[in-house]
Each structure stands twice: as C-alpha cells, then as structure tokens.
Amino acid sequence: MSVDGWNTVLVLGGIRSGKSEFAESLVAEAPTVRYVATAADADTDDAEWAARLAAHRDRRPETWTTEETARDPRRLADVIASAGPNETLLVDDLGGWVTVLLDPAYQPADDTATIAELATAIRDCAAKLVLVSPEVGLSLVPTTPLGRVFTDALGAANRAVADACDAVVLVVAGQPAWLKPAAPRPVTVPAQGGAAATAGNGATSAPAHAAPDHAALPDVLTPTVPPAPAAPADAGSPWSAPTMALPMVATGLVIQPGMELPMPDEYAGPQAVDRLATLDVPGAGLGVLDRVVGFAAATQGTTTPVPWDSVRVLLVHGDHAGGAAAGTVAGESARRARQARAGKGALARLAAESGASLQVVDAPTANPIENEPALTPEQVESALRHGWRLAEQAADAGVRLLVLGACGAGTEAAAAAVLAATAGAEPPTVLGRVVTDTGEYDDAAWMVRCASVRDALHRTRRSPRGAKDVLAELGGGDIAVATGVLLGATARRVPVMLDGPVGVAAGMVSRDLAGQARHWCLLADHGGHPAVRLAADVLGLTPLLDLRLDLGEGANALAVLPLLRSVLALAAALPVHPSLGGGNDSDEPEETDEPDFREPEPAGPGPASTEPEPEPADPTGWRAG
C-alpha cells in the first residue's frame, strides 16, 4: 500500500469526489487485490446506474478478483476477518452496504450490532484493507423518513469504521485531506538486511520485484575514523530543523509536473552577502566563497547562517546494462557499495572526518537503453517515491544538509542521455573519457558508450520528453531515486549538495517536476566533468571551487565540506569592523587622548621582589631545562 505504516484506511468523499479512484491508487502496487463489491446489481430500467457500475469494473486491473456481498450484508465482516496478512482488500463502498442492510428483505435486523461487528473485524484485520464510503455529514437533513434512516445508519457506520481504521482521508474535488492521523508518522529505521527497497504508486500492478511503499528504508550508518594511524588502511570501525511537510508520500499522491514546493528566502541570501562587507577581516573577505554564505542564509532563512551541524550522505547504487557500462569492471560498483556499508573507502573515511552519517541506497538496474526503456513506468514511480521518503526520513532526523552521491556502472552515459533529452546536448560533448582501473584511457569503450546513447536517442526520437518519460526511457533507477530525493528535500526545506553526473541529471529532471528544486541545490566542484559543467550552466548553479577532484560522486563534496563549514562559522562569528560601529574585542586597551601618567617600571626586580632573575636568552631560540 501507499500509506506508510498503516494497514487499514477509510476513504471518505462526496458524490463524484474521486474517492474511489483515490482508494484504487492506494492499492495499485499490490500484486493482487480482492475487490469487495457491496452494492446490489443495477435495476434493468436504470441504465445510468448500470453504466456507473460498469465504469468501476472497467477500471479494475485483470489481476484483481471481485467478491460480491450484496446478497448478505453481514458477510462483509466475515470476509474482512478471514483475510490473511498477505492479502489486499478494497471495499467499495459502505454506502451500498448500508443500503442493502436497510433493505426490507433483511429486516428486522439489528443495524447497530451489524455495524459493531464490522468495526471489530476491521480492527482485528490482518490484511491490507481500504474501505470507501460516502460522507453524508455535509448535506441537508433528508425530508423523508427513509432518507433520515439511511443517513443516520451511514453516519454511525462511518464513525465506527473511522475509529477502527489506522488512517482516515477525506477526498474533496479529487484532493485528499488526511484526517487521521493529522500528519505522516515518523519513519523508523529497521536493521538492514539486504538491498534497499523502493516505494511505488503505479497506475497498474507493480512487477513482482518492485517493493511496496511501506518497505524498509536502508540503514543510516555513522562512519568513524580509524583510531590508530598504524592500522591498515581498510581497518576502520563499522559504521532538528523546522521544515515544511507536504503530504505527497503519505497520501499516495502521484509526483507530477507543476508541483508547488517552497523556495528559499529571497531576501536573507543577499542581505547575508552584504553583511560580509561589514565584518572585521584584515583582507578583502571570502572571495567567491561568499556564495556559500548567501546559499546557506537563503535556505536557513536568516542573515547569519550557521554551519551545517548534521549532514547525511546518500550513496545511490544503481547499474546500467548494455553499452552504457562499456569499460567498467563487472561487480566494481557493488564492491564500492559494500565498502561504504562497511565503513571503508574514500567516501566512508571522508564522512567520518566530517561527522556525517551515510546511507547506501540500492536502485533497480536499468535495462540497455539502446534496445529498450531503462525502467517501466511503475518502477519510475516507485523510485521517485522512495527517494522522496529518504529525504523525509533525513528531515525527520534533523539533518541540515544532504550530500548526494552515486556509484554504478554506466551512470555517466545515462546522465549524458538525460542531458541530451532535456538540454539538447550532443552526447560526445558531455561524455567524459573512460579511465580504466589501471589509469589508462579506453577510447574504444568511450565510443561504445557514445553509440549506446546515440541509439537510445534514435529509439526515443518520437517519445514524449516529460520528466517521467525521460527517466523511464533513458535515466534509470539511480537518477530516478536521486530525483525523488531532490523533490522530497525541497518539500522539507533541506539543501542538497550535488556532486557528479547523477546528481546534476536528477537536477535537470526535477526542474520539470518542480522548478523550485534547483534553488535548494549547491554544487561545490564540477570535477572537470563535461556533463556537470553543462548541467550546472543550465540549472544556474555556479561551482564554488575548481579543484577537479575525482574521488567518486559524493566524496568530492565531502572533501570540500570542512572548508564550507569554516566559511560559515567565520561569517557567523566575526564582529562588525570597529570603524562601522562594531565593538573592540582585542586584548589591547582602547586608545584615548588622555596622556599616560603611569610610573615606568624599574629595569630589574626591586629590593622586596622575590622573583628570580630572568635567564639570558639562548641564541638558538630554545630554553634550557
């Protein structure tokens, strides 16, 4: 299900509110769904009602099964109570169930007892259960006795079921408003037992290997610095800011273009940079690093930003099959991911030095883009939502800065394909040369990668160029997860430091889903990579440094993080220059126009002094003793 941590959900809504479609979206990724239809068959004379029932049937995927309870309304409680923990049930709807319950054919009957039995069955249900019901509390009191009986019974049923369910949502004009609980529940991180699962919300049933949205997120690791410098290089130890929470993941809404996400403070950044000119520094100031102060001020909403005290590194591991991975060593990316999980390697060591936590995220392997789409649409939805949940989890843990890293075979070619599709780049101009594990250039492999991207662009020349289309056709799992991270971080006002092709490719895709996302991104160094240079120019991200580091995506950003923290600490701590009204914080007394009338000190100790004679200065500069 797409509701994180909740087994039973009641979906309320008025007529034509979209409640049934929303309920169906909550169970869309389940391999099989048992659809429990409660309404009686349409009268042969009522063509309009028959058409409505037919529309409901046509929306159901072929993998769903249908079960009718209209002949015996008491049977609904039995169906729910007997469902197993691996089943998913969708009951649509309680209005039809109450109608049958009040039918004279089933009278006399104890409506209150039957509703209580249903609530008990829901409360004890082991299956995933979604129930749909009309909300009648907003209408006028019916003028007929039968109408009043129906609204009273349905109102009582809704109250009892809402009390029994884990979550309740009201759908108004297609927009869900969650009533219970009032906000998404914090995500707890269970022990990591393998590949990270992804979360999805596809329009049809997800493939068998696609994990549901409530799957466990990967462990958050805390790297530590090896205690003894004499130890072997790989002998290291194993490893709350106010934000804006949007209900995108918790409500099961589809991530779609045109989302309105928050922007950084447009005034705090320029004011913080102007403030730097007033600080008491001996030289000309911070130079180009004043941009990091402006960025931090805008994203923190203050003119005196503080250094990022809680940093998390998200290392997305996802391979690309086919020619995109030409020149890579088989299994190398998986080794890097295992190395990071074990607290070893450059990334883990730099994270330990920076006091940053590390989370390794496994993305689905992409198909050869020259022959077929990299992912299915369901996998794209799943990866986007999983990335969003990772950002949500970090924000809930009080993380102030995310560092987005990646390791995978073929990532550079996939990023080049995305840039070609979104920015019109020529693949050879954004594909860096292939370097082997021995440090040599493999131009033959580079040509294979170029050909793979060329063939992929030719294959998709008539395909749509929407964000999700690009991810499905060309991007792959790692770029899709990274895109979800950027969107989720933007929604929670958490800045993200990009570092490499996957990160900037995700930035290009997220631009078409929510244009605000790029304003929460920081690029420390382009690393000399042509794809990063081009994407940075398109996104309006100016690299802070030009160190041309090539330590792996994510490690380059961690290498410069201490410098950026120092800049922010200095900008926050330095006082205003005394000439501009600042105080004098030196140890020397302030100069005055009054003459100094103090008596001069004698050349040596006086008669009453007990201090020893000072030792003669050693010409070597060292004192004896």
* Active site (catalytic) residues: 553
Which strands make up the sheet holding 357-362, listed edge to edge? 220-221, 357-362, 311-317, 401-407, 496-498, 521-523
Number of H helices, E strands in the chain: 19, 13
Q: How many residues does the chain have?
A: 625
Which strands make up the sheet holding 167-172, listed edge to edge? 65-68, 34-37, 88-92, 128-134, 8-13, 167-172, 175-180
Q: Give the type of residue at 161.
A: V
Q: How far is Cα 229 from Cα 486, in angstroms, rounded to an integer?
A: 37
Q: How far is Cα 97 from Cα 36, in angstroms, rounded to an integer?
A: 10
401: three-class secondary structure by DSSP: strand
Alpha-carbon distances of 459 from 370, 417, 464, rounded to whole Å: 7, 12, 12
Q: How far is Cα 49 from Cα 61, in angstroms, rounded to an integer?
A: 21
Tokens of 418: 């995305």
9: three-class secondary structure by DSSP: strand
Which residue's structure tokens are 């997800």? 206
Which residue's structure tokens are 């395909």? 463
Q: Who's near 333: CB < 8 A, 6+ residues apart?
A: 317, 319, 407, 408, 409
CB of 543 closer than 8 Å to CB of 524: yes
Q: How far is Cα 420 from Cα 445, in angstroms, rounded to an integer?
A: 19
Burial class (CB in 10 A: 0-12, 13-18, 19+), 220: buried
Angle between helices 268-276 and 290-300 (to 10 degrees): 140
- 209: nearest Cα among 31, 348, 427, 350: 31
61: three-class secondary structure by DSSP: coil
488: three-class secondary structure by DSSP: helix
Q: How many CB atoms lie within 10 A of CB 270?
A: 14
CB of 79 closer than 8 Å to CB of 69: yes
210: three-class secondary structure by DSSP: coil
Q: Who's near 17: CB < 8 A, 6+ residues apart?
A: 171, 172, 173, 174
Q: Who's near 433: CB < 8 A, 6+ residues apart?
A: 441, 442, 443, 446
CB of 403 closer than 8 Å to CB of 554: yes
